[in-house]
């Protein structure tokens, strides 16, 4: 079964464009060997820019610590979102980030305890645990409602885009590129969908 991740229809309505003037982007992301790339974050700035108003996504703003790992491994949140970090493990965790958009640490907290942090700047935030070096997670803080993450098949859909040339940014934590991202331009139709594929170069150990 072909599975596509998409924004809720609310994102289409929020931009205030008649249905005949909105199209969808179906993007397939693969690596240099043609293998699908999951957990790639796609953000889009449609022709005419992004709508004003609060940004909301259907997947929430929680990153769980469970089985000595962050879940999900990559989380997309809007600027200003407060992310919850519940600990479901029997051991304590110490969450931290040295990333420019958000430098912080949440000191030791134990099982069934939750801490939170508010992300005020757009960008990619790499997370670690001061106790468990093998733990890593990423929060992509975005300032556009047109954002989604590729699934295991490397597929992602972003819906409700204004017709015209859109700037599409692909980000992945292991991408071989400045800021781990690359930009492509896509011509979005006034209705229906446009299908594209993109090849990204990833560092070893993906």
Q: What is the pLDDT of residues 65-99, one digit of tens each?
A: 999 999 999 999 999 999 999 999 999 999 999 99
Neighbours of 133 (CB within 10 A): 8
Q: What is the pLDDT of residue 22?
A: 85
What average pLDDT does the segment 31-58 reach? 94
pLDDT in tens, 144-173: 999 999 999 999 999 999 999 999 999 999
What pLDDT score was predicted for residue 61? 98
Give me the percent of the chain exceeding a pLDDT of 90: 84
Mean pLDDT across 15-29 = 71
Q: Write down the pTM of the prediction.
A: 0.87
Q: What token pair was written down for 90?
A: 């029997």
Q: 197 pLDDT exceeds 50? A: yes
- For 181-189, the CB contacts below 8 A with 24+ separation are 186/25, 188/23, 188/25, 188/46, 188/47, 188/161, 188/162, 188/163, 188/164, 189/23, 189/163
Closest CA to 162 of 48, 66, 71: 48
pLDDT of residue 205: 65
Beta strand ranges found along 31-163 (DSSP E): 41-45, 64-65, 70-71, 74-78, 82-86, 93-99, 102-109, 114-118, 123-129, 136-142, 147-149, 155-162
Q: Using the predicted structure, report yes or no on whether residue 123 has a pLDDT greater than 90.
A: yes
Residue 1 burial class via C-beta count within 10 angstroms: exposed 0-12, middle 13-18, buried 19 and up? exposed
What's the chain's average pLDDT? 90
For the chain, domains (ranges, CATH) are: 9-46+164-199 (2.60.40), 64-142 (2.60.40.420)
User: What strands lie across the sheet with 123-129, from one edge to the other?
Assistant: 74-78, 136-142, 123-129, 93-99, 102-109
- The band of 7, judged by pLDDT with boundaries at 50, 70 and 90, is very low
């Amino acid at each position: 079964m072909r599975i596509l991740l998409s924004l809720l229809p609310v994102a289409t309505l929020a931009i205030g464009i008649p249905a005949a003037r909105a199209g969808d982007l179906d993007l397939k992301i693969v690596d240099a060997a043609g293998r699908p790339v999951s957990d790639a974050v796609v953000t889009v700035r449609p022709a005419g820019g992004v709508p004003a108003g609060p940004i909301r996504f259907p997947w929430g703003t929680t990153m769980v610590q469970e089985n000595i790992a962050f879940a999900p491994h990559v989380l997309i949140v809007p600027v200003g979102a407060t992310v919850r970090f519940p600990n479901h493990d029997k051991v304590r965790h110490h969450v931290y980030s040295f990333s420019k958009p958000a430098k912080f640490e949440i000191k030791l907290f134990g099982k069934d305890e939750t801490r939170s942090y508010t992300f005020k700047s757009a960008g990619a935030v790499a997370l670690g645990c001061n106790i468990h070096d093998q733990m890593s997670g990423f929060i992509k803080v975005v300032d556009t409602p047109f954002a989604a993450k590729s699934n295991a098949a490397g597929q992602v859909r972003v819906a409700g885009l204004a017709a015209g040339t859109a700037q599409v940014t692909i980000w992945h934590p292991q991408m071989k590129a400045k800021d781990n991202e690359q930009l492509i331009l896509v011509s979005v139709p006034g209705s229906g969908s446009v299908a594209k594929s993109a090849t990204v170069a990833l560092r070893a150990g993906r």
